[in-house]
A and B are shown apart, each in its own frame.
Chain A
Amino acid sequence: MQSFTVLTGIAAPMAQDNIDTDAITPMAAGRSTSVDLGAMLFNNARYHADGSEKAEFILNIPPFRQSRILVAGENFGCGSSRERAVWSLMAFGISCVIAPSFADIFNDNAFQNGLLPVVLGKAECAALAAWLAQVPDPVVTVDLQRCVVESGFGPPMRFEVSAERRAALLEGLDEIDVLLRMQPDNDIFEAQDRLNHPWIYQPIPA
């Protein structure tokens, strides 16, 4: 996957709570393989039914059209497990979301793809979002090596991320490689479990 070390870029304020994955990537907008996942990000909020842009939507307003970071409210990414929510954000160019909390499945999907979910306090997120909405140059730096968010808004804001997630992101490691290396353990487990719980291993009838 894509590695994440230090990211400096435009950060868009979207301070509502409970931004769900249906809002991030509506189901109807993304059936085909040929669809541009970045273009369909926040499809329903971003476009009118005729496909023209809604001028007031944040990602349609310069400079936020070039956003690399989102600053959101509580429980970002709740709802459906669709990983396309993460793929759409990344295809648009956003590889970091800062929020007071994330839904569990979105959080896991993000780390599997190299999108960094940064948890800051509710008040910090709200204040940062308010600042971004006002300044001419709404730029933020997210540094995963030092685990800080820096901006013209104020002093650096520290965040925490689990050591294994951080290491995987810094090096762009795919988790499947770790899993494949551990399969000898799985072989031993399975051999014993077939004896203990044989009903789990019945072949599917033809």
Chain B
Amino acid sequence: MNTAQTLVDKIWARHVIRDLSDGRSLLRIDRQLIHDGSSRQAFDGLRRLGIGFRNRDQNLAMVDHIISTLPGRTGESHPPGRERIHALRDNARQFDLAFFDVDSDRQGIVHVVAPELGFALPGTTIVCGDSHTATNGALGALAWGIGTTEVMHVMATQSLLLRKPQRMRISFEGVLQPGVFAKDLVLHFIGRHGVAAGKGFAVEYAGPVVRALGMEARMTICNMSIEFGARMGLMAVDDTTLDYVRGRPWAPTGEMLQQAEADWRGLVSDADAVFDREYHIDCSAIHPQVTWGNTPQDIIGIDQTLPGLPDDPGQREAMQRSLSYMGLAPGQRLEGLLIDTAFIGSCTNSRLSDLQAAAEVVRGRKVAPGVTALVVPGSMAVKAAAEGLGLDRVFTEAGFEWRNAGCSMCVASNGDMVRPGKRSISTTNRNFQDRQGPGSRTHLASPAMVAAAAVSGHITDVRRLPAV
């Protein structure tokens, strides 16, 4: 009998409190991230039950979804968000939670803050009322998004009932070409295999290309797992992981760190472990990716043209609906398409290395006339680090707005929106209809590609920008 285990099996096994006869398991939850967008009814539920947090120190709250990113912002800056921000602040106080308010230098998007703080750790289970929680899986953690009722379950019991997912492995092989980034890899996969390919699976990303990526780029890949239907996406622990965690403000230190690292080194899939599904992706052939439609699978390389209309009537109608919404035609190129807005930010692409990749393109260039361009760092710590490197000046001198941390124009519920009918190129994760504001037309791409479009005034291949 093959007793080899995948990474998912290993992390799962060490969190099972008990297996139920119905096939579900009661699973221990090590970390919960709580934010202003999905927590209020959970706190209300807790009050109705008359109970508190089971493990207060395993929960961390902050404002991110609805908070203004404008310079000099307060909790009052975006009036429609006030009620929820006040509610989270009051709830955090009432339940004595660790809470990063709008004026905290640790505030930011939950999935950016948790790893950079050392709150998210290898080998842990991490949940949040947010579908992009798998971002934290890059650390070698089992991390997934839940609804508000389950948020309340974790507050009260630090545990959840669930069925073990199936295991998928995606191996990224070959050599990454210049101008191609982690974002392009995961978008390419979704384009090829579709938005439901990961349903029911926990996905381990592997292969030499992943091993060579830094932690932040790894987070970008794990972040997009839900965009092909996988709740959980994760990566094996290696030296890159350990180097990243060591020295984080809340990470273990001293002897406890040594003990932890000895444990974390084992967080890899066994060599002969069997996955329920496996994919191999040759990265050598991947070009910078840009979406054209209203699901992340509607994607082409910048060197390609849009597909023709499919024969299947249902698919044909869906494509026509997307093309009409996006103002595009079958067979068209995206290169040269005029843009109105360029957005760099979100839990997908707002970390220091993302801003560095964008700044490298922007340096010495100007935002094209008529284009609104924003950089929203993922956390106040990222913002401070970027300012320490002078990146803020690179962006502002080029004509970008330099904002405070938050989800901003990814979810468009804090006042940062794309105007109706306007075209946006964005480092975010969803190109759904109306996602960046009613009538917004969103093209997803990497930070470098968004920066290239911002300075060109149109979608363009970052590898072919004229020299400064």
Q: Which residues of A contact B (CB under 8 A)?
A: 15-18, 20, 22-23, 26-28, 31-33, 44, 49, 73-75, 78-83, 86, 101, 103-105, 108-109, 112-113, 126, 162-164, 175-176, 178-180, 182-183, 185-186, 189-190, 193, 196-205
Contact B24 A176 (CB under 8 A): no
- In whole angstroms, how far apart are the Cα atoms of A109 and B131 in the complex? 12
Contact B150 A199 (CB under 8 A): no
Contact A78 B149 (CB under 8 A): no
Q: Which A residues lie within 8 Å of B256 (CB)?
A: 198-199, 202
Contacts A176-B49, A186-B26, A189-B28: A197 and B263 contacting too (C-beta < 8 A)?
yes
Q: Which B residues lie within 8 Å of A179 (CB)?
A: 26, 153, 156-157, 159-161
Q: Give the interface residue-count category, chain B.
A: 35 or more
Q: Which A residues lie within 8 Å of B164 (CB)?
A: none
Q: Which A residues lie within 8 Å of B244 (CB)?
A: none
B312 to chain A, nearest CB (A): 11
Tell which of B194-202, B268-276, B344-352 binds the partner.
B194-202
Contact A104 B149 (CB under 8 A): no
A150 to chain B, nearest CB (A): 25
Residues 210-239 of B, flagged 1 when their CB comes within 8 A of A and 0 if not, give: 000000000000000010010100000000
Contact B430 A22 (CB under 8 A): yes
* 14 residue pairs bridging A and B, Cβ less than 8 Å apart: A31-B80, A31-B84, A49-B420, A82-B37, A101-B196, A105-B131, A113-B149, A164-B22, A164-B23, A175-B149, A179-B156, A182-B17, A189-B17, A202-B250
Contacts A162-B23, A179-B153: A17 and B314 contacting too (C-beta < 8 A)?
yes
Residues 15-52 of B, flagged 1 when their CB comes within 8 A of A and 0 if not, give: 00110101110101010000001101100010001000
Q: Which B residues lie within 8 Å of A162 (CB)?
A: 22-23
B399 beta carbon closer than 8 Å to chain A: no
For the complex of A and B, the 6 pairs showing the least CB-CB separation, nearest first, are A109-B147, A83-B147, A199-B252, A112-B149, A27-B413, A164-B22
Contact B250 A83 (CB under 8 A): no
- In whole angstroms, how far apart are the Cα atoms of A44 and B55 in the complex? 40
Contact A108 B83 (CB under 8 A): no
Contact B145 A81 (CB under 8 A): yes
Contacts A28-B437, A81-B130, A182-B17: A103 and B153 contacting too (C-beta < 8 A)?
no
Q: Which B residues lie within 8 Å of A16 (CB)?
A: 317-318, 321
Contact A83 B149 (CB under 8 A): yes
- In whole angstroms, how far apart are the Cα atoms of A82 and B80 in the complex? 18
A115 to chain B, nearest CB (A): 12
User: Can you name the residue of chain A whose Cβ is closest to the Cβ of B410?
Assistant: A27
Q: Which B residues lie within 8 Å of A33 (CB)?
A: 40, 83
Contact A28 B438 (CB under 8 A): yes
- In whole angstroms, how far apart are the Cα atoms of A82 and B131 in the complex? 8
Contacts A22-B434, A23-B434: A205 and B145 contacting too (C-beta < 8 A)?
no
Residues 327-338 of B, flagged 1 when their CB comes within 8 A of A and 0 if not, give: 000000000000
Contact A20 B420 (CB under 8 A): no
Contact B80 A105 (CB under 8 A): no
B426 beta carbon closer than 8 Å to chain A: no
Point out which of A17, A126, A179 has the most chain B C-beta atoms below 10 A from its C-beta.
Answer: A179
User: Can you name the residue of chain B whose Cβ is closest to the Cβ of A198?
Assistant: B256
Contacts A27-B413, A109-B149: A126 and B314 contacting too (C-beta < 8 A)?
yes
Q: Which A residues lie within 8 Å of B84 (CB)?
A: 31
Q: Which A residues lie within 8 Å of B37 (CB)?
A: 82
Q: Which of B158-202 contact A (CB under 8 A)?
A: 158-161, 195-196, 199-200
Contacts A44-B438, A78-B229, A83-B148: A199 and B159 contacting too (C-beta < 8 A)?
no
Contacts A16-B318, A23-B432, A74-B196: A79 and B413 contacting too (C-beta < 8 A)?
no
User: Can you name the residue of chain B whose Cβ is closest to the Cβ of A49?
Assistant: B438
B320 to chain A, nearest CB (A): 12
Known: A101-B196, A105-B231. 14 other contacts (CB 8 A): A15-B314, A17-B318, A18-B195, A23-B432, A23-B434, A27-B412, A32-B80, A103-B229, A105-B145, A105-B146, A179-B157, A193-B28, A199-B260, A202-B57
User: Can you name the residue of chain A whose Cβ is closest to the Cβ of B125?
Assistant: A200
- In whole angstroms, how far apart are the Cα atoms of A16 and B433 in the complex? 14
Contact A75 B430 (CB under 8 A): no
Contact A175 B161 (CB under 8 A): yes
B290 beta carbon closer than 8 Å to chain A: no
User: Can you name the residue of chain B whose Cβ is closest to the Cβ of A80?
Assistant: B131
- In whole angstroms, how far apart are the Cα atoms of A113 and B263 in the complex? 39
